[in-house]
A and B are shown apart, each in its own frame.
Chain A
Amino acid sequence: MEYSAKVMDHFMNPRNVGEIEDASGVGTVGNAKCGDIMKVYLKIENGIIEDAKFKTFGCGAAVATSSMATELVKGKTIQEALEITNKAVMEALDGLPPVKVHCSCLAEEALHAALWDYAEKNNIVIEGLEKPVDDIDELHNLPEE
């Protein structure tokens, strides 16, 4: 298994690591059981995503996809943000090894979760956005092994 140079760059020098204190929306997906947790913070003003930050627990691909997804989403409208699919994140990273494709799905879900949080906080409905299923709470409800 080998990562592309772009994946390695975004892993070694991740963009947008951190938190946004007064975030408009925060989304957390994944769980510690599968080994990946992504938390995305969005700052949204006048329908535009002004800033995006993330924290990720996960492998190289998980960090790189978080980094790329937050890069892609910055400056976009909410509707444009919904178009950032896992495929788009993957393509922007020059591809991922097959076993790591699920990481790119997490990045897409994390963006959606943050947007969902924003919609809920502001009592609005974002067309085409479905309620995210993954939640960090799964972490506290791990089945006994």
Chain B
Amino acid sequence: MDKLIYFDNAATTPVRKEVLDTILPYFSEHYGNASSVYSIARESKKAIDKAREQVANALGAEPAEIFFTAGGSESDNWALKGIAESMSSKGKHIITSVIEHHAILHTCEYLESKGFEVTYLPVDEYGKVRIEDLKAAIRPDTILISIMFANNEIGTIEPIAEIGKIAKENGIYFHTDAVQAVGHVKIDVKEMNIDMLSLSGHKLGAPKGIGALYIRKGVKLKSFIHGGAQERGRRAGTENVPGIVGLGKAIEIAVNEMDEVTPKLIKMRDKLITELTSKISHTKLNGHPVDRLPGNVNLSFEFIEGESMLLFLDMNGICASSGSACTSGSLDPSHVLLSIGLPHEKAHGSLRLTLGHMNTEEEVDYIIEKLPPIVQRLRDMSPLYEEYIKNNK
């Protein structure tokens, strides 16, 4: 196979052809500033309104509840810091989980430095937050619960509707980082009692640098970026019209195609899991076997290290990722894998394959053929494997 095989759709996705075609005129043709009065400006304004409606429809929200941002991290920062600020007279306690993305965890650390208290809920062996832990963590001064919709590394889908219900019963705002879930699983913010939801464009076929925050009507969330009156005075800055148009188009396609694409992804995902765990000994699936993103595969291969595996896969034209320290730029492997109870050496030997609508059965078969000899080659070189073989002779 000569072409590139892209199995890292949770990292980012290519901009879809249909999306790119829709966006292009907004660079040099309909370039007007949406705040101006002349006709090309009205074109921009109209495009933004349409995209807002497309995003709202995808979430079961009202267009007035959608605010465009520069991406998932900004949305997360806005939701957490904004609620912390506006609710601090009621209390200073926030509940989140240990497996959140760093956009949440590092924001929480920042808030702790400003006098807020944060409870980091543990997760079970599959990466799920336990409802009883959540209930036990709630205090009279709890102002916010922020739990991710689905985990970016292990793909586990959290019990969002249950969490939403508990938050509502207790009069606590509920935010969810749904960057990995939007466009991939069904979301209804009203049914699930979600007060705020972060999403990102580049995870679903839109460009990088565009995202949104859904803010339920009535939620007290102040402006985060101060300046002009864009986004009804709540997020200043001249709108990224091409990005916004692209996000609207991409999310609409993703939601429309979901019923058709999801079963295909699940079939490929489960084939990868079944085949790779049976062909390669000492392999473990990380994350929940069923409540899992349709495109997420995360496996740990004992006795080997992830980056070495990625380099060999790259030689075979396959793009994937790992929770190994060597790929994180620190000495510690993924906090998510450690949180589900993996010892360090198994966390270092993890491989994440994330599928998208463009992946094919043929590509799946290709990696099923290529990976086992790579793992064996690295095991033959590993002192841990040598030790294991000697002890089990």
Residues of A whose CB lies within 8 Å of any CB of B are 8, 11-12, 14, 17, 19, 28, 32-39, 55-63, 99-100, 136, 139, 142, 145
In the bound complex, do residue B329 and residue A99 qualify as a contact, i.e. CB atoms below 8 Å apart? Answer: yes
| A37-B383 contact, Cβ under 8 Å, with A32-B343, A142-B343 | yes
- B57 within 8 Å of A (CB atoms): no
Which chain B residues lie closer than 8 Å to A14 at the CB level? Answer: 381
Q: How far is the CB of A55 from chain B (nearest CB, A)?
A: 4
In the bound complex, do residue B381 and residue A56 qualify as a contact, i.e. CB atoms below 8 Å apart? Answer: yes
**Number of A-B residue pairs at CB separation under 8 A:** 75
- B348 within 8 Å of A (CB atoms): yes
Compute how far the CA of A32 lies from the CA of B326 in the bound complex, rounded to whole angstroms.
Answer: 12
Residues of B whose CB lies within 8 Å of any CB of A are 303-308, 311, 315, 324-326, 329, 331, 333, 338, 343-345, 348, 380-386
In the bound complex, do residue A55 and residue B326 qualify as a contact, i.e. CB atoms below 8 Å apart? Answer: no
Having A17-B381, A35-B305, A63-B308, one finds 9 other A-B pairs with CB under 8 Å, namely A8-B311, A11-B308, A11-B311, A12-B315, A19-B386, A34-B331, A57-B303, A57-B345, A62-B305
Which chain B residues lie closer than 8 Å to A60 at the CB level? Answer: 307-308, 311, 326
Which chain A residues lie closer than 8 Å to B338 at the CB level? Answer: 145
Q: How far is the CB of B388 from chain A (nearest CB, A)?
A: 11
Could you name 22 residue pairs across A and B whose Cβ atoms are closer than 8 Å?
A: A8-B311, A11-B308, A12-B315, A17-B380, A19-B386, A28-B383, A32-B344, A32-B345, A32-B384, A33-B345, A34-B331, A35-B305, A35-B345, A35-B348, A39-B383, A55-B383, A55-B386, A57-B381, A57-B382, A57-B385, A58-B305, A58-B308
Residue of B nearest to A100 (CB): B326
User: Which of A19, A37, A59 contacts B308 (CB under 8 A)?
Assistant: A59
Compute how far the CA of A58 lies from the CA of B303 in the bound complex, rounded to whole angstroms.
Answer: 10
User: Which of B311, B329, B331, B384 contacts A57 (CB under 8 A)?
Assistant: B384
Compute how far the CA of A62 lies from the CA of B382 in the bound complex, rounded to whole angstroms.
Answer: 11
Most buried by A among B343, B344, B380, B385: B344
| A59-B343 contact, Cβ under 8 Å, with A136-B383, A145-B338 | no
User: Which of A37, A63, A145 contacts B384 (CB under 8 A)?
Assistant: A37
Most buried by B among A12, A57, A60: A57
Q: How far is the CB of A12 from chain B (nearest CB, A)?
A: 7
Q: How far is the CB of B60 from chain A (nearest CB, A)?
A: 39
Q: How far is the CB of B314 from chain A (nearest CB, A)?
A: 10
Most buried by B among A12, A34, A38, A100: A34
In the bound complex, do residue B381 and residue A59 qualify as a contact, i.e. CB atoms below 8 Å apart? Answer: no
In the bound complex, do residue A35 and residue B381 qualify as a contact, i.e. CB atoms below 8 Å apart? Answer: no
Q: How far is the CB of B332 from chain A (nearest CB, A)?
A: 8
Compute how far the CA of A37 lies from the CA of B383 in the bound complex, rounded to whole angstroms.
Answer: 7
Most buried by A among B303, B305, B384: B305
